[in-house]
Amino acid sequence: MRRRLFVVLILLIAVSAGGWLIYNRYLGVASGPPVFYGNVDIREVSLGFRVSGRVAEMRVEEGDAVKAGQLVAVLDKQPFLDSLALQTANIAQQQANFAKLEAGNRPEEIERAKADVAARKAALENARGVYERQQQLAKSDFASKQVFDNAATQLQAAEAQLQSAEEALKLVIAGPRKEDIAAARAMLEAAKAQKQIAETALADAELFAPEDGIILTRAVEPGTIVSTGTTVYTLSLQNPVRVRAYVGEPQLGLIRPGAHVELFTDTRPGKPYEGQVGFVSPVAEFTPKSVETPELRADLVYRFRIIVNDPDNALRQGMPVTVRVVDDGAAVAAKD
């Protein structure tokens, strides 16, 4: 009899416990603040040069703490300096050409063109006089037809040469064409742009840390030829530190953006970190295996992100974290 009562009692306890778990899980009733589980999710940055070249200096080692803007690596700058010098010389050439066209022709050039016109006029008058004399002699049969034809040809040549000299004088007085000046200006601007590209490439030969962080990996050594985008360092950012956690659908209403939470780790279980929910995913997914929860891992959950207030170096990438909601963020949402 006692044995039967003991068995019945055990069964009642089991049924009660199972019912409590089901009720707690699916109806959202809990004996204390809701608890969730996740992992520390620290952002990492792959640092690399925007230009290719030979690595000259690697200034930090794995594990070193770096500050935002700190110089961490340098490429051999000589090829970039040579390119900049070439573009600087090209600008000087284009500036001289543009200034020449914009200034127009010099007074001496105009005077020379006028003198050429005067000389052509004199040559024309002489050729016309020879032609007229030969014409009179030809009428009196005192000159051969060949001599007369030669005089006529010289007259025509002198007229053409005078016309050419006059056209040249007009061009000298008018100066360069507007289109030529515009083309020279465009070539000068293109040379300046090429110089700017060379200056940017020279600046990109130095690699700086974008944020405060810790160097996780040093991928290359001095002397290595790297291409554009090759990872030189991997940097773990110190701020912000985030926690990636998951909530089941029955408890989804307990997690709202702005909710305040406490974060517990195995290294300091009695001294929680404080944080705030910053994002709740609108898409369900299966619980990752890395999340240690007492629930079934095949359940569909929603990912949410927590921003840790005042983090320290004890929080490491992938560290498991227990999340306890302090408030549900309703007051924060009302203020917003």
Q: What would the DSSP string read from start to end of 272-292?
A: -EEEEEEEEEEEEEEPPTTS-
Q: How far apart are CA 307 and CA 38, in angstroms?
A: 13
Instruction: Report the pLDDT value the prediction gives residue 291, as an integer from 0 to 100.
Output: 55
pLDDT in tens, 236-265: 987 888 999 988 888 888 888 888 999 998
What does the CA dihedral 180, 183, 188, 192 come to, rounded to 10 degrees? 170
Residue 23: pLDDT over 80: no
Q: pLDDT: is 92 or 300 the higher one?
A: 92
Q: pLDDT: is 135 or 20 the higher one?
A: 135
Q: How far apart are CA 125 and CA 145, in angstroms?
A: 21
The whole model's pTM is what? 0.62
Instruction: Report the pLDDT value the prediction gives residue 60, as an integer from 0 to 100.
Output: 96
pLDDT in tens, 131-187: 777 777 767 666 677 776 777 888 788 878 878 877 776 666 656 677 777 888 899
207: its two tokens: 């690699």
Instruction: Report the pLDDT value the prediction gives residue 154, as an integer from 0 to 100.
Output: 84
Helix, coil or strand: residue 257: coil
pLDDT in tens, 84-127: 999 999 999 999 888 877 766 666 676 687 777 777 877 878 87
195: its two tokens: 């110089």
Q: How far apart are CA 177 and CA 91, in angstroms?
A: 22
Q: pLDDT: is 5 or 259 the higher one?
A: 259
Beginning with the edge strand found earlier in the chain, give each strand of the sheet holding 225-226 in spatial order: 206-208, 71-75, 53-58, 225-226
170: its two tokens: 């007009």
